[in-house]
Amino acid sequence: MAADRYQAMFSRLAEEQRGAFVPFVMLGDPDKATSIEIISALVDGGADALELGFPFSDPIADGPVIQKAGIRALANKIHQQDCFEILSEIRRRHPQTPIGLLLYSNLVFHTGLDAFYAKAAQAGVDSVLLADVPLREAEIFQQTAQAHNIHHILIAPPNADDEALKQIASQSSGYIYLLGRAGVTGTETAANAPVKAMVDKLSVYKGAPSVIGFGISNPAQVKAAIGDGAAGAIAGSATVKIIEQHLHDVPAMLSALKAFVAEMKSAT
């Protein structure tokens, strides 16, 4: 069952006394065939779980590196169906790796709420995080996700008050996405939120494990996040930048991605 993969991963990591390293890439970047090899390389490099985006024409929370990844995919005519086909192939190759989607609600509404989650479940997706849905509007997505045995992931922003953290802890399943800082994604600014205080509060409220994202680009930041009590760290822009730097040499790209993941994982 999809609902068990995160649990199994966090249980295994707890036994090993380590945290999770989770890379993010854009589905279909730079093209469908290469995207499958990229995501497989991340798992082969030691990724504990995957966070994957759907290319979208108006990505308000994405920094420039991830925006360009979406533009590359859209330029190569990557549609939603292609994304689901890539996901199905990744699930076939990597049956135990948790797969999370990070996307925008317009893409879900375009397909239809129930139809989108049904397709996601069929493709082997474990969780969905909607970057532009505030807590107060999350209930319908949460219910639909649950109906399809998919974890509904919520973001805990650095300015969240205790009441919001309590709600997030009670409603986010699988894990909680802890924002390392406010703003858009990218490695331009390091994570600077009071991570330890937030992790401690979410733990008191019996929330799912906290995984920190935004501003994670090197092993020292991964180590710091785990040291502050986070159960893992997500790196998006730093991962996608490697793809951008090696667009004309795919074997070198895959090799660099594996090395990057191995280095980041070693810090957990």
> Which candidate in 29, 48, 51, 89 is catalytic?
51
Beta carbons of 2 and 121 less than 8 angstroms apart: yes
Cis peptide upstream of residue 30 (ω within 30 degrees of 0): yes
Residue 132 known to be catalytic: no
Q: Cα 7 to chain center, whole Å?
A: 16
Taking the C-alpha atoms of residue 98 and residue 49, their distance in angstroms, rounded to an integer, is 5
Taking the C-alpha atoms of residue 14 and residue 106, their distance in angstroms, rounded to an integer, is 36
Q: Is 77 exposed, middle or buried (0-12, 13-18, 19+ CB in 10 A)?
A: exposed
> Which candidate in 29, 62, 82, 126 is catalytic?
62
Q: Are strands 155-156 and 151-153 parallel, antiparallel or unpaired?
A: unpaired
Residue 62 known to be catalytic: yes
Count of beta carbons in the 10 Å neighbourhood of residue 256: 17
The residue type found at 2 is A
Taking the C-alpha atoms of residue 226 and residue 140, their distance in angstroms, rounded to an integer, is 32
DSSP string, 185-205: SSSSS---S-HHHHHHHHHHT
Which residues are annotated as catalytic? 51, 62
